[in-house]
Structure 1
């Protein structure tokens, strides 16, 4: 074979090698993707439900890197929200309430308890109930047991739906409050299994285990709500947590 022909043959092999490498890589990625798909969707998958993004949210599942994503997905879909809340809260589905385009409760439930804690019954949105259930299970009860050696058995609420404008330290504004669509709930305090009570108004600045519990409660709420305001935010919140299903992640 002539020298030029040899060079052309070797050059052709070199040109084909990247194509072959890409073909092998794509085949490997395809097999990997198929395996991952089977691992996620197979009825006998070894992946625990709490880690499986294809499985619906369960309040009792342990916290994992996909929990927050599952919560957002469930909170944004009424059927998924009601399914996740079933067995994790005391509630009843209600017909949507429409006072006006600005004031309404869509995805309405009557909530009277989450987990092991009762709540004075109120009408709110399913998304608020679901976030409350996650807060009670994964934040409030662990903090109460760690700091107070007791369980939370009642959560004191001071409202969810309220057709009103947003209040600020400078006065009312023209913007409607998130309470006007029941996208928020205000929490004033807690009662425990040993009979003691803690309120934000009386115990936020006292120091000790009670104040530490309230701060753990606030910090935990930030994991489950899209906006959390406490007495650290301003004087309007001196006596309650404002917990909001919508928002941009403010935690103060």
Structure 2
């Protein structure tokens, strides 16, 4: 007796397709939900942002998620040295929420600064994935301190011709002004004196600024105008301005 295999081919294809689908679904379930998932955390879509994790194709997406939710932001900042504070509200235009007192990020300390969690988290990502690499590359050392002027300041935008008439991003602690860095070998590098030089300190500062542009939507430095000659203005609001 001969079988007509051609007649069974459609059924066989359907069976193979169903089996393949079951294998794919099971594999996806194990990959995403099993405690021993083979995916590293930086590539796992259900694992929240970890500042210390290597950068992956999901890092920007994870960072956006952390920045958009206050609780997630505070969780992602857990590797930094900070204390959570009650929200501050001076007026409808001047406030900090969620508010943290930040004293350190990774290998770098800071003079205590009160800022918004989202600003601190962007700063932590910059320190881990840009700033320290720039210091190693150009100075052969680590950044041990990030020096700053301020984050929160209830004021209008400053322009060369005077007040801009609009509130500054500092009014909501959505920015920080970084003035320089203490290096682990004792050197003090400041934007005011070292930005324009030809040596490794200037190259480090330019590299550090370029990496800050990857973490902050707005980054303004000495090349922007005279008001920024002595600091980097790193801002979490706005989009696409790196000068």
Per the TM superposition, whether the score is higher than 0.5 is: yes
Q: Say which of 45, 49, 55 aligns to 1:57.
A: 49
> CA deviation digits over 1:42-86, x for unaligned, max 9?
221101001112101111100111111111111221111111111
Whether 2:230 is the aligned partner of 1:239: answer yes
Q: Say which of 198, 205, 210 aligns to 2:201.
A: 210
Larger Rg: 1
Q: Measured at CA, do residues 209 and 33 of structure 1 come closer, stay the same or move farther in structure 2, by a change above 3 Å?
A: farther
> CA deviation digits over 1:23-55, x for unaligned, max 9?
998996786466434412222110100111210
Match of 2:6 in 1: none
User: How many angstroms apart in 1 are the aligned matches of 2:172 and 2:41?
Assistant: 33
Secondary structure of the structure 2 residue equivalent to 1:223: coil
User: How many angstroms apart in 2 are the aligned matches of 1:73 and 1:242?
Assistant: 24
Aligned residue pairs, count: 234
Q: Deviation of residue 147 (structure 1)?
A: 1.1
Q: Say which of 52, 59, 77 aligns to 1:67.
A: 59
User: How many angstroms apart in 2 are the aligned matches of 1:30 and 1:208?
Assistant: 61
User: How many angstroms apart in 2 are the aligned matches of 1:168 and 1:41?
Assistant: 52
Q: Deviation of residue 217 (structure 1)?
A: 0.7
User: How many angstroms apart in 2 are the aligned matches of 1:94 and 1:72?
Assistant: 23
Q: Measured at CA, do residues 234 and 39 of structure 1 come closer, stay the same or move farther in structure 2, by a change above 3 Å?
A: same
Match of 2:3 in 1: none
Q: Deviation of residue 251 (structure 1)?
A: 1.4
Question: Which runs of 5 or more residues in structure 1 are unaligned?
Answer: 1-16
Q: Deviation of residue 225 (structure 1)?
A: 1.3
> CA deviation digits over 1:135-192, x for unaligned, max 9?
1111111111111111111110100000001112232122110000000000000011
Whether 2:117 is the aligned partner of 1:93: answer no
User: How many angstroms apart in 2 are the aligned matches of 1:30 and 1:182?
Assistant: 50
Match of 2:180 in 1: 189
RMSD (CA atoms)? 2.2
Q: Say which of 98, 104, 127 aligns to 1:136.
A: 127
Whether 2:71 is the aligned partner of 1:79: answer yes
Secondary structure of the structure 2 residue equivalent to 1:158: strand
User: How many angstroms apart in 1 are the aligned matches of 2:159 and 2:22?
Assistant: 55
Q: Measured at CA, do residues 175 and 30 of structure 1 come closer, stay the same or move farther in structure 2, by a change above 3 Å?
A: farther
Match of 2:152 in 1: 161
Q: Measured at CA, do residues 30 and 131 of structure 1 come closer, stay the same or move farther in structure 2, by a change above 3 Å?
A: farther
Map 1:24-43 to 2 at 5 A: 32=24, 35-43=27-35
